[in-house]
Structure 1
Amino acid sequence: MQSQPFSDAVTGLFACGLGVATSDEAACIAKFMVNFHVGPERSSDLFKLKQNFRTHSSVLNLAQSVLTLLCHFFPKSVDKLESETSLVHGELPVLLQSCDQNVLKNIFHSNVGNSNGVITFRAQQVILVRDDCAKEQVIEQVGKNALVLTIIKCTGLEFQDVLLYNFFEKAPLEPGWEVVYEFMVHKNLLGARSLKYPPFNKDRHSALCNELKELYVAITRTRQRLWVFESISHPLFDYWKKLGVVKLGEFDFSFGSGMLVFCKLEEWNLCG
């Protein structure tokens, strides 16, 4: 799998001496900014393209919810830009939970196929995990029936569908996600609900900054469908459900089978 090349139009801007900056090569059309000289009295103009042509509005809304937390707790860690928009509407990301520890194995080893291909995750689908240890554990369950990548390895890549698997449950340290409730109180998102949570402390919760950035990268790898599976409950889920940016699902055999498609062997070969 290789990242998307710059388009001819963007390459042409470089040839004309115009500067293009983007935080994600695969999203260069959606997020680039152009600087150009227009005369001695004005050194440059800045044009921001907020329209995202890579994914749909439901994924952007979920990603924006993560950026909002990042800007609130760590305002100096990211540039403050206007929210991206999309003219395309898609299905809400699905928050999945299951008590079955063998759910992946049961789903991916029940596929059928023939000499031309199999019913599995297609070449443009991926399972994203936190680290190499989690990757090995998932590969033990799915075998060669799905592409499994760590989040850091998928930076700059994009896929049709993404399954983010146990991102929170596999966290090596507890970064203090309960402070999300502090933000929800600040934004009147908790209502009359009373919860105990530690107050935010920049030093004590410093690990949360990288966690939010990594989560944002994982969410924005998909063009169409996003599934977030967790075997544990999490404060962020209350935040997402209150905002209405996810829908709930049960990660069982029936749901998992609907994620699989018939994948021709040629599709995998084209991806290298």
Structure 2
Amino acid sequence: MIIDGNAVSKEIRDKIKIEVEQLRGKFTRAPGLTVILIGDDPASQIYVGRKSKACSEVGIASEIKRLPGDVHENEVINLISDLNKNDNVDGILVQLPLPKHLDENKIIDAISPRKDVDGLHPFNIGNLVLNKASLVPCTAAGIIELIQRTGIEIKGKHSVIIGRSNIVGKPAALMLLHKHSTVTICHSRTKDLKEIAKQADILIAAIGKAKFVTKDMVKNGAIVIDVGINRVDGKLLGDCDFEEIKEIAGAITPVPGGVGPMTVAMLLKNTLSAY
């Protein structure tokens, strides 16, 4: 089974569009998202463009604040402070990665937790740890949604996550734990990674290495979620060897068209929740 992230994302976005229309009828404005884009990283430009387009399609008001790559940290924090006070802005997103001279933690901490639609503020991460309702990291939320769409019961299953980032690995582990999965996180220092991956009922690859996960690392019938986006010789490849693994997996996400569209859908959902 190929898990179609585009189709699931469209279904979610269609529901959000209806909800936004209802809100606009009830109140005087649509939900508003402001994205702060620092520098001219080509990939970031593409991602921000996709987010803006998705907002437009569902009726969410979006604005991009572009800042030069050499911007002073205080200028970024002052901008965030102004947006925190702006009642027309429900969600604030700082596009990552940031130029090296900027302190990512300090900048994320400056965002009001109730407007932190990336779900990365310590307040929201703390709520996630405690299993309290809050804004959650978009990619991790998208991963859980895709797993649930396969029909598998997460409870009691062994989930193995390759990658321990704050954006994907750690929050996905917490969300699976709250759904009563037994969770193992693997990383660059993990010994016997292949053997551990082979035990997974649910395998999530999020390390940024093209075709790192091979067929011999996957148990027959496992659910495989490929978070990787790697450009190799002009092609987009995931962290998994898709063509080989799809023959034995119970379900697998493609790249592109798997997790990527879900990340954007969950951003829209978070913006709506922050309204």
Question: Which category describes the TM-score, using the shorter chain as reference length?
Answer: under 0.3
TM-score scaled by structure 2? Answer: 0.27
Greater per-residue helix proportion: 2
TM-score scaled by structure 1? Answer: 0.27
Structure of greater Rg: 1
Task: Flag the structure with more relative contact order, 1 or 2, with Cα contacts below 8 A and sequence separation at least 6.
Answer: 1
